[in-house]
Amino acid sequence: MILKERYNFVEHIPQQRAGILQPEKAALLIVDMQDFFLNEKSHAFIPSMSAIVPKLKKLQDYFLENNLAVFQTRHGNTVENAGQMLNWWGSILREDDPLSEIVTELKDDRVPVISKTQNDAFWQSDLEPKLRAKGIEQVIIGGVMTHLCCESTARAAFTRGFEVFFLIDGTATYNKQFQFGSLYNLAHGFATLLLTKEISL
């Protein structure tokens, strides 16, 4: 049973409010699924990321096949636009770095890719106007990292008036503490938590 599976999966995280997903008014937003995080030689490698790639691919294909909105984000910085990203991490992922590319499995010419320079995908990007142009009222967020770019983007979407749905098994980060910390926070004040298999017409 899906509800029981979700309940067990997130270790009894209480959902403050459960929204009703309307796919025709929703956009799938896949955040920063880049080689930088999937390549084992990268210092930013996320071991659990490989587990969500097929789930997001299946969901992306489903949305495309049903003429539903899909967007991806791609993070990249210059020294000039990095701001606190450079101060905090001590290095940046440059836009021309081969590791900044979207992972091969999720590349699709039909999917618009939004360039972003901060954790929040809405910050000084064209994401919001593109969503508004399509009449989008809900966003479904998946990708990496759960506790950084995904959570920051979920909060920003909420503030801008979008109803937020957040993928339990379609997000990944470095450890269980970061993952569940974000899920607890988002479920209380910002987003409805979903399993990928719960999304259908």
φ and ψ of 154, to 5 deg? -60, -45
30 falls within a domain: yes
pLDDT of residue 1: 38
2 falls within a domain: no
For the chain, what is the domain count?
1
pLDDT of residue 157: 98
H or E element at residue 99: none
Domain span including residue 81: 22-198
Give the pair of three-digit tokens for residue 155. 């909060």
SS3 (DSSP) at 178:
helix
pLDDT of residue 144: 98
Give the pair of three-digit tokens for residue 158. 């909420």
> What are the 10-residue block averages of pLDDT along the chain, 201 residues in total?
55 80 96 96 95 97 97 96 93 93 98 98 98 98 98 98 97 95 95 92 60
Q: Write down the pTM of the prediction.
A: 0.93
CATH number at residue 188: 3.40.50.850
φ and ψ of 156, to 5 deg? -65, -40
10 falls within a domain: no
